[in-house]
């Protein structure tokens, strides 16, 4: 019988890895990562919490959020849609106040866009409306009924309720969007608004800009490009399944599709979410629910794309994350899971008048919440942070006699650690041994003689309401028994 003593160091900890064959995983790859962030680089920390953002208006679920900073005086207005009303808050500090002429349909999506220092709004059922003062909307004469808008090349494009994209006159000189001529057509050169018929099956889903092109998406997932002159079929069916999931940053757009989370920079959509594929769809049918693919909200904030996916159970760990929010860091190319005390119903990230980026999300209880870099709770509720990893010393077929595990944390933290020796991947077979907290910064386990198994599971968790923790890494020493 051959034996060898081996030492492995678990450092440079990445994101979730549920896609790779478990026999090919690196020691310490995360198979669970709930409410953790990658900070500092190569380590993992408990995520910070959230605080309330303004009040609850009439208490209905928040369906849409938007923010607009006026060009002329840098006043920022925040908007929320709940019930059948659009509300505003000046500077995001005053109480929610009902907008004049802000009554909308109680179930459909409400979209916003800005052109010529004018905010435009529509719900796809009632009249398109605009405001220049931020508080009172006016029905826009001649504008089509539309459910999505995008400013492109000095025009406002409106996605109609059929298969037509309408565009306004080009704004120039003394013309203003709020004027009565914005959507009028005429044989003269002054008025040149018109529409584009989008071919193929399915209705229109969403429009947005990428690489100086207007991207037009259909419910069939087909995508078209418009450059102001020509309509191009991209020959792709990887467009957004949920129009609410589209977020953009640095020339890229991100969205949810039936096959996963995509990134698009103007060429071909790229699938990003292989690392968490078992959480999106799996053989147990316990990934993202079918209905969520059509309505899951998402947004980009700084270097992260957030997507509120709902309750999921992957088919490797068989562990459930309730009200899961996927968080993809495109700087580090890694996925993690969040779970907020209140599940987001919409997101919006905006740079306020002081130049600070704010991520605000709405919830079904009518309250909006703001991500905070200093909060240690979700508005008073504990943040349950959880990580799990497996060590097999790259020889999964052989038993190991485990000698020692040492973990390194920030001193004073309240993170707790447990370990389990097992010969299977079945979670019910794990007999966890609690090691206590990591308040000293270093915690270790010298395994009793005869601690033998193929795998060592490590669990790090915390639900304190006073401070966070940072896990820097760990080391494992064991004797491999090749019999």
Full DSSP string of 135-194? SB-EE-TTPPPEEEEEEETTEEEEEESSSEEEE-PPP-TT--TTSTTTT-B-SSSS-B-E
Listed in sequence order, the residues at least 6 apart from 199 whose beta carbon sits closer than 8 Å to its beta carbon are 163, 233
- The domains found in the chain, sorted by start residue, are 2-46+385-482 (2.60.120), 50-371 (2.130.10.10)
Burial class (CB in 10 A: 0-12, 13-18, 19+), 240: buried
Q: For residue 161, name the pLDDT band (cuts at 50, 70, 90).
A: confident
Q: Is the pLDDT of residue 319 over 90?
A: yes
- Could you give the CA distance from residue 398 to residue 478 in angstroms, rounded to a whole number? 12
Q: How much is the average pLDDT of 239-255?
A: 94
pLDDT digit string, tens, across residues 22-39: 888 899 999 999 999 999
Listed in sequence order, the residues at least 6 apart from 212 whose beta carbon sits closer than 8 Å to its beta carbon are 227
Q: Is the pLDDT of residue 306 over 80?
A: yes
Q: How much is the average pLDDT of 54-81?
A: 93
* pTM to 2 decimal places: 0.95
Listed in sequence order, the residues at least 6 apart from 94 whose beta carbon sits closer than 8 Å to its beta carbon are none
pLDDT digit string, tens, across residues 104-133: 999 989 999 999 899 999 999 999 999 999
pLDDT at 398: 95
Q: Is 276 helix (H, G, I), strand (E, B) or coil?
A: helix
- Could you give the CA distance from residue 347 to residue 340 in angstroms, rounded to a whole number? 13
Q: How much is the average pLDDT of 431-435?
A: 96
- Could you give the CA distance from residue 423 to residue 137 in angstroms, rounded to a whole number? 65
Tell me what percent of the residues of the chain surpass a pLDDT of 70: 97
pLDDT at 273: 96
Q: How much is the average pLDDT of 210-220?
A: 95
Q: For residue 250, name the pLDDT band (cuts at 50, 70, 90).
A: confident
Using omega within 30 degrees of 0 as the cis cutoff, is the peptide bond preceding 476 cis? no
List the strands of the sheet with 298-301, edge to edge. 298-301, 304-313, 320-329, 334-338, 30-34, 385-391, 455-462, 416-422, 433-437
pLDDT digit string, tens, across residues 323-351: 999 999 999 999 999 999 999 999 999 98
Angle formed at CA 42 by CA 36 and CA 46, multiple of 5 degrees = 20
Listed in sequence order, the residues at least 6 apart from 17 whose beta carbon sits closer than 8 Å to its beta carbon are 25, 29, 30, 31, 275
pLDDT at 116: 87
pLDDT digit string, tens, across residues 172-206: 655 677 766 788 766 555 567 889 999 998 999 99
Q: How much is the average pLDDT of 281-300?
A: 94
pLDDT at 185: 66
pLDDT at 189: 53
Q: For residue 354, name the pLDDT band (cuts at 50, 70, 90).
A: confident
pLDDT at 172: 60
Q: For residue 239, name the pLDDT band (cuts at 50, 70, 90).
A: very high
Q: How much is the average pLDDT of 233-238?
A: 94
Q: How much is the average pLDDT of 239-245?
A: 97
Task: Provide the mean pLDDT of the chain.
Answer: 93
Q: How much is the average pLDDT of 261-270?
A: 95
- Could you give the CA distance from residue 102 to residue 129 in angstroms, rounded to a whole number? 9
């Amino acid at each position: 019988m051959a034996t060898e003593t081996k030492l492995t160091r678990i450092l440079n900890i990445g994101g979730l890895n549920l896609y790779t064959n478990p026999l090919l995983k690196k020691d310490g790859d995360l198979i669970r990562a709930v409410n953790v962030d990658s900070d500092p680089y190569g380590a993992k920390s408990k995520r910070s919490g959230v605080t309330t953002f303004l009040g609850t208006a009439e208490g209905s679920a928040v369906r849409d959020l938007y923010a607009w900073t006026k060009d002329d005086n840098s006043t920022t207005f925040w908007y929320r849609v709940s019930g059948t009303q659009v509300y505003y808050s000046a500077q995001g500090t005053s109480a929610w106040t009902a907008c004049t002429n802000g009554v909308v349909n109680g179930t459909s999506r409400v979209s916003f866009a800005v052109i010529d220092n004018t905010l435009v709004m529509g719900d796809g059922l009632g009249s398109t409306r605009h405001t220049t003062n931020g508080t009172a909307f006016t029905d826009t004469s001649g504008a089509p009924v539309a459910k999505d808008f995008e400013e492109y090349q000095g025009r406002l494009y409106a996605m109609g309720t059929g298969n037509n994209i309408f565009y306004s006159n080009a704004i120039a000189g003394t013309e203003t969007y709020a004027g009565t001529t914005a959507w009028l057509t005429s044989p003269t050169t002054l008025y040149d608004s018109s529409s584009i018929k989008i071919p193929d099956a399915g209705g229109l889903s969403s429009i947005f800009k990428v690489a100086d092109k207007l991207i037009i998406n259909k419910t069939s997932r087909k995508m078209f490009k418009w450059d102001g002159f020509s309509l191009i079929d991209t020959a792709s069916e990887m467009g957004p399944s949920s129009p609410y999931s589209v977020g953009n940053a640095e020339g890229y757009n991100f969205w949810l599709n039936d096959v996963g989370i995509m990134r698009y920079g103007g060429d071909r959509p790229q699938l990003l979410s292989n690392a968490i594929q078992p959480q999106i769809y799996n053989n147990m049918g316990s990934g993202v629910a079918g209905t969520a693919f059509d309505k899951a909200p998402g947004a980009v904030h700084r270097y992260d794309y957030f997507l509120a996916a709902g309750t999921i159970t992957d088919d490797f760990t068989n562990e459930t994350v309730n009200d899961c929010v996927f968080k993809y860091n495109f700087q580090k190319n890694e996925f993690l899971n969040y779970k907020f005390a209140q599940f987001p119903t919409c997101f919006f990230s905006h740079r306020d008048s002081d130049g600070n980026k704010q991520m605000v999300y709405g919830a079904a209880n009518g309250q909006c919440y703001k991500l905070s870099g200093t909060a240690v709770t979700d508005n008073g509720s504990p943040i349950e942070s959880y990580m799990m990893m497996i060590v097999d010393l790259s020889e999964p077929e052989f038993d190991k006699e485990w000698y020692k595990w040492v973990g390194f944390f920030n001193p004073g933290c309240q993170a707790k650690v447990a370990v389990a020796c097992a010969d299977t991947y079945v979670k019910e077979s794990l007999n966890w041994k609690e090691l206590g907290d990591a308040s000293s910064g270093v915690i270790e386990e010298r395994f009793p003689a005869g601690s033998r198994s193929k795998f060592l599971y490590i669990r790090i968790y915390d639900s304190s309401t006073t401070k966070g923790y940072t896990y820097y890494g760990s080391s494992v020493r064991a004797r491999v028994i090749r019999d």
